[in-house]
């Protein structure tokens, strides 16, 4: 059973707040190395299109290093709606603990690519 929308919104917002540098309101760099994002992959193009439609942005305005909440102007409810849209379009389930870690567009692309690879190999 999925948590209610307000709980997910609070989770997304608290995740973003904890990822921000309070001195200059920018997203902190993570200590863990990131896999490169193939921005031309079908997955990244589909995710970019979803974000574009959800947030009324042009697709070329959306870059892998952009924070979904912050750089792209999404709020916590937008983030929850984005996760639900991604789950439906890619036929995957995103755990709340995982959703908290998906701060940037690149994080989301990498996560979905890993999840869809696992589903295909299972």
Which one of 21, 75, 89, 107 is the catalytic residue? 75
Rounded CA separation 55/121 (Å): 33
Q: How far apart are CA 114 and CA 102, in angstroms?
A: 13
75 given a catalytic annotation: yes
Could you give the count of Cα atoms lying within 13 Å of 29 in the half-sphere of its Cβ? 3
User: Which positions are catalytic?
Assistant: 75
């Amino acid at each position: 059973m999925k948590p209610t929308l307000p709980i997910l919104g609070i989770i997304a917002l608290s995740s973003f707040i904890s990822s921000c540098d309070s001195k200059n309101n920018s997203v902190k760099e993570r200590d863990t190395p990131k896999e490169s994002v193939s921005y031309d992959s079908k997955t990244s193009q589909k995710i970019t299109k979803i974000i574009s439609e959800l947030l009324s942005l042009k697709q070329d305005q959306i870059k892998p290093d952009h924070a979904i909440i912050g750089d792209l102007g999404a709020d916590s409810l937008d983030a929850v709606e984005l996760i639900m849209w991604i789950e439906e379009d890619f036929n995957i389930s995103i755990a709340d603990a995982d959703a908290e870690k998906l701060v940037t567009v690149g994080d989301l692309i990498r996560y979905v690519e890993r999840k869809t690879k696992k589903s295909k190999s299972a």
